[in-house]
Amino acid sequence: MSRFKSALRKCFKKQAKVVVFFERNYKSQHLQLQAVPVPKECAPSVKSVFMDSAESYQMEMTEMPEHAELAQMVEPGAPYFLAELPQDSEKGKARCQTCQSHLSFT
């Protein structure tokens, strides 16, 4: 999966875009990874858009610690939403957000 993500990042970089990856698990063990290209100049606002959107749906997003794995943050079979945001230009690392409580995807 990391090679696939890397290839997408490289592809969209040529188009002056960054990629936001997200996945959700809700009422199913079928996981899907979504990749959304975003214009590079919009990258700094992606995190706030996710946080504001989550708040409007009464979802609490938490930032995963740098070396944490999803399995450490979420119980097996529990619903979650995970977003891998564009790299933080100051820290040079991806930010991931998880949400576990009160999910009601439609």
Which regions of 29-70 does DSSP assign to beta strands (E)? 32-39, 62-63
> What 3-state class would DSSP assign to 46?
helix
Tell me if 70 sits within 8 A of 82, measured CB to CB.
Answer: yes
**Residue owning tokens 């930032």:** 63
User: What pLDDT does residue 36 have?
Assistant: 94
Query: What is the chain's mean pLDDT, rounded?
Result: 78
User: What pLDDT does residue 12 have?
Assistant: 95
Tell me if 81 sits within 8 A of 96, measured CB to CB.
Answer: no
pTM of the model: 0.76
**Residue owning tokens 């996710």:** 50
Smallest CA-to-CA distance from 88 within 48, 30, 31, 28 is with 48
